[in-house]
Structure 1
Amino acid sequence: MKEIRAYIQPFMLSKLTQILLEIPNFPGMSVSDCEGFGREKLVPRQDYTPYVSRKRIEIFAPDEMVECIFSAVMTSANTHQQGAGKVYIIDVERGGKICTGEQGEELA
C-alpha cells in the first residue's frame, strides 16, 4: 500500500476530483487546506507573508493502483505554470480500522 500525497492549487480540486472518481474502485481521498512556500523567493514587503494557499490531497491505495492515480493527479492538476503543485508517493507499512480493530498492510 502507498500514500499518494499532493499539494495542488485550490481551483484545480474539482477537476482533479472528477478525474479520480472515473478510476474504477478508486479508494477515496482526504482533502485539507494548507499553506506553505517553496524555493522561490519574492521581494519582502512590510506586510508580506511567504505562505501560499494549497489543497492537500491524501490517497491511500493498493500498489497496483498507484501509477494510475499518480498519473491522473499529475495530468489533471497541471496548470502549466510554476507553482502548480507537488505529488509524492510514500510507502505505508500498515493501516487499521478503528471501529473494528482490523489491522494489516492491505487496509486503506
Structure 2
Amino acid sequence: MKEVRAIIRPNRRERLREALRAIPNFPGVSMFSAQGFTAPASVDKRSVRDELTDFTEKFMVCVLCPDDMVETIRETIIKSCSTGQIGDGLVWVLDVATVHRIRNSEPMA
C-alpha cells in the first residue's frame, strides 16, 4: 500500500476532485488546508512586507491506495493541477506499512 501526497493550488481542488472520482475503484481522498511558499521566493530580493506575507494558501491531498494505482493517481494530480507556473505544488509517494479501519480494527490490504 502507498500514500500519494500532493500540495496543490486551492483553485485546482474541484478540478482534481472530479478527475479523481473518474478513476475506476478510486479509494478516496483527504484534503487539508495548508500554507507554504516556493523556494525561488527565498532567493529573490524581498521587502519586509513580502517576508511577512510570503505564505500562500494551498491544499494538501492525501490518498491511500494499492501499489498498482499509484501512477494513475499521480498522473491525474499532475494533469489536473498543473498551470505551468511556479507554485503549482508537489506530488510524492510514501510506503505505508500498515492500515487498519478504526471502526473494527480490520487491516486493509
Taking structure 2 as the reference length, the TM-score comes to: 0.89
For 1:44 and 1:94, the matched residues in 2 are separated by 46
- Given that 2:3 and 2:63 are in contact with CA atoms closer than 8 Å, whether structure 1 keeps it comes out as yes
- Kindly report structure 1 stretches of 4+ aligned residues shifted beyond 3 Å: none
Counterpart residue identity of residue 54, structure 2: P
Counterpart residue identity of residue 93, structure 1: A
Identify, as 1 or 2, the structure richer in helix. 2
For 2:48 and 2:63, the matched residues in 1 are separated by 37
Taking structure 1 as the reference length, the TM-score comes to: 0.90
2:82 maps to 1:78: yes
- Aligned-pair distance for 1:77? 0.5
For 2:49 and 2:88, the matched residues in 1 are separated by 26
Unaligned runs of 5+ in 1: none
Counterpart residue identity of residue 34, structure 1: A
Counterpart residue identity of residue 98, structure 2: R
- Aligned-pair distance for 1:36? 1.4
Unaligned runs of 5+ in 2: none
- Counterpart in the other structure of 2:100: 96
CA RMSD of aligned residues (A): 1.4
- Aligned-pair distance for 1:52? 1.2
Q: Among 53, 59, 64, which residue is 2:57 paired with? A: 53
For 2:63 and 2:47, the matched residues in 1 are separated by 36
Counterpart residue identity of residue 7, structure 1: I
Percent of pairs with identical residues: 34
